[in-house]
Amino acid sequence: MLKKTKNRESYHRQYYRKQEMNKLRKVIQNLRSEHKLFMSSPEGIAYKKRLTKEYYKQYRIDNKEKLRAYQKEYLLTY
């Protein structure tokens, strides 16, 4: 009798764990689709452009010496 209840408890644990994982997968799938929808909208495109501009601005600040050395090496003036 004790063995049956352990098996049943184990089964219920596995069942509810599986249900919870399925819910989480669905949530992740919905979030991904919403993210894709947002990024394809005009606001999302503007957001992405703004992020890339900020990233490149920060990159130029952080690597100023490297960029100057590159410019001097190839005689480029900006």
Task: Give the predicted TM-score (pTM) of the model.
Answer: 0.59
Return d(Cα 68, Cα 75) in angstroms, integer.
10
pLDDT at 1 (0 to 100): 46
Q: Where are the domains of the chain?
A: 1-40, 42-78
Residues 24-66 have pLDDT tens digits of 999 999 999 999 999 999 999 999 999 999 999 999 999 999 9
**Rounded to the nearest 5°, which phi and psi values hold at 74?**
-100, 10
Return d(Cα 68, Cα 55) in angstroms, integer.
19
* Mean pLDDT in residue range 65-73: 89
